Structure 1
Amino acid sequence: MNRAEFFPHRIISKTDVTKSTFVLRLERNNLEFRTGQHINVGPVENGYTREYSIYSGEHDNYLEVLIKEVSNGFVSPHLRKLNSGDVVMVEPPLGYFFLPSEHLLQKKFLFVATGTGIAPYHSFIKSWSDIDYTLLHGVTDISESIQPSFYDPNQLILCTSRSNEGHFSGRVTKWLSENDLQGYDHVYLCGNRNMINDVYYLLNKKGIESEKISAEAYF
């Protein structure tokens, strides 16, 4: 385990989203968090936990995490086998990947994600449904899209790097290089570290100041 303190949370449900990803819904047990934070979750029996961004909203009476199953992983394959009624370990929330606390509804946001990096944005939007955002989600093909019907279709751009079935054919970096980004007050990046490094460089090159960029790297 990463820290000594943890709390038991019972599973309410498990929902498959794609072939490799699923959502665990847990009893909240009065756990307080800010949207954008992550928690460490793990099965009780083996003592290991892994960081997962919180997928549910601040005001939901349950707690959700979006999990990608990793072959031979210490945690995700074990979590995949659990069912409603089983208990997992949850460590206290951490992180500073926050929306601004002031003038939230007067700002325009660009959310950029790859894979399960979409999780904190789901929490952002569940918590603050009236925010003005564009969500750029990069996946290999449309089968990897994660609950796209949750988002306003006018605000979601699915970038598919290996097919033409999404809204945009190519990586998120290609979309960003081809579009005007000056109208956004803040840009959030979440997902693959290589994507974050590439996008950060691209944004700086296009005149987006570093203080207008927030990033959360998954691996």
Structure 2
Amino acid sequence: MATWITGTVVENKRWHDSLFSLRVKTEPFEFTAGQFVRLGLPGPEKRIQRAYSLVNSPGTEILDFMVTTVPEGELSPRLDQLKPGDTVEVSQPPSGFFILSEIPDGRSLWLIGTGTGIGPYFSMLGTEEPWERYQNIYLIHGVRSQADLIYPELIHQWQDRYPNRFTYQPVVTREPVVGALQARIPALIRSGELERATGGTLDTDAQIMLCGNPQMITDAKAELSAKGLEINLRRRPGNVTVEQYWK
């Protein structure tokens, strides 16, 4: 049975009209990087709630959530209006198995996400585990426009700290952006362009995590399967781990 604690908004960081980061302070609680909680607000009959991944890493004081405003949604437009000092409910305990302890070892780790599906990866990269277990880490972010490429300060931090081990590759589909690829991620996997751009190899020494748009996940799984990379399951370890981020 889930319980709820009350958090206080400390910042509503606006990235663009429909994307923001909600930063919330609560009493301390433990979680594993990659897990999620539910945010809730009172409704006319019951609490309105939705799952959001924790972008912040364990041990940090402020919780961080990436939120896309859905105009017809029940919750996101209300979260959009929150300002410092307002309160929001946070579910306990944290949930989810899209975590690094569920991922086999390998030479490289590919963190592939679209939109806000990149959130869990920021939480993971802020811990020591991925850097201790994998020689090379590739962060691939697929978005529609350049304005969706967020948290640049974190990305620059890892680029500076691990210049020969960390590669960030933006993918922007609806406008040309310097340094970004411009095609759907599954197509980039199929053509080999993603590997050429990053200098990495999608082979059996790689572990690939997929999170975000369900069609991207379906199509990317098919392209990776064609390369001999199968889904990672507890009963049958593989190379591809999926989070069905959109419900």
Count of residues in correspondence between the two structures: 216
Q: What secondary structure, in the 3-state scheme, does the structure 1 residue paired with 2:28 have? A: coil
TM-score normalised to structure 2 length: 0.80
State the alpha-carbon separation in 2 of the partners of residues 112 and 77 from structure 1.
Answer: 27
Check whether the contact 1:48–1:75 (CA below 8 A) recurs between aligned residues.
yes
Q: 1:29 pairs with 10, 16, 27, which one?
A: 27
Q: What residue is the counterpart of 1:168 in the other structure?
A: 181
Q: CA deviation at 1:44?
A: 3.6
Q: What residue is the counterpart of 1:213 in the other structure?
A: 240
Check whether the contact 2:104–2:207 (CA below 8 A) recurs between aligned residues.
no
Per the alignment, do residues 108 and 30 of structure 1 end up closer, same or farther by CA in structure 2, a change over 3 Å counting?
Answer: same
Give 1:3-152 correspondences, 5 Å limit: 5-44=3-42, 47-92=47-92, 93-100=94-101, 107-128=107-128, 131=131, 132-151=136-155, 152=158
Q: What secondary structure, in the 3-state scheme, does the structure 2 residue paired with 1:49 have? A: strand
State the alpha-carbon separation in 1 of the partners of residues 225 and 96 from structure 2.
Answer: 24
Percent identity over the alignment?
A: 27
Per the alignment, do residues 61 and 215 of structure 1 end up closer, same or farther by CA in structure 2, a change over 3 Å counting?
Answer: same
State the alpha-carbon separation in 1 of the partners of residues 211 and 103 from structure 2.
Answer: 22
Check whether the contact 1:115–1:191 (CA below 8 A) recurs between aligned residues.
yes
Check whether the contact 2:117–2:212 (CA below 8 A) recurs between aligned residues.
yes
Per the alignment, do residues 143 and 102 of structure 1 end up closer, same or farther by CA in structure 2, a change over 3 Å counting?
Answer: closer
Q: What secondary structure, in the 3-state scheme, does the structure 1 residue paired with 2:16 have? A: coil
Computed over aligned residues only, the root mean square deviation of the Cα atoms, in angstroms, reads 2.2
Q: What residue is the counterpart of 1:200 in the other structure?
A: 221
TM-score normalised to structure 1 length: 0.89
One-letter amino acid of the counterpart of residue 159, structure 1: V
Q: CA deviation at 1:148?
A: 3.0
Check whether the contact 1:59–1:127 (CA below 8 A) recurs between aligned residues.
no
Per the alignment, do residues 207 and 50 of structure 1 end up closer, same or farther by CA in structure 2, a change over 3 Å counting?
Answer: same
Of residues 89-98 and 139-148 in structure 1, the stretch that sits farther from structure 2 once superposed is 139-148
Q: Deviations along 1:53-83, whole A, 9 cap, x unmatched?
A: 1110112112111111111211111011111
- List gaps (5 residues or longer) in structure 1: none
Check whether the contact 1:137–1:172 (CA below 8 A) recurs between aligned residues.
no
Per the alignment, do residues 161 and 81 of structure 1 end up closer, same or farther by CA in structure 2, a change over 3 Å counting?
Answer: same
One-letter amino acid of the counterpart of residue 173, structure 1: P
Q: What residue is the counterpart of 2:162 in the other structure?
A: none
Per the alignment, do residues 193 and 103 of structure 1 end up closer, same or farther by CA in structure 2, a change over 3 Å counting?
Answer: closer
Of residues 27-36 and 170-179 in structure 1, the stretch that sits farther from structure 2 once superposed is 170-179
- List gaps (5 residues or longer) in structure 2: 160-165, 196-200, 232-237
Q: Deviations along 1:91-144, whole A, 9 cap, x unmatched?
A: 12110000137997x742001111000100111112238623101111112122
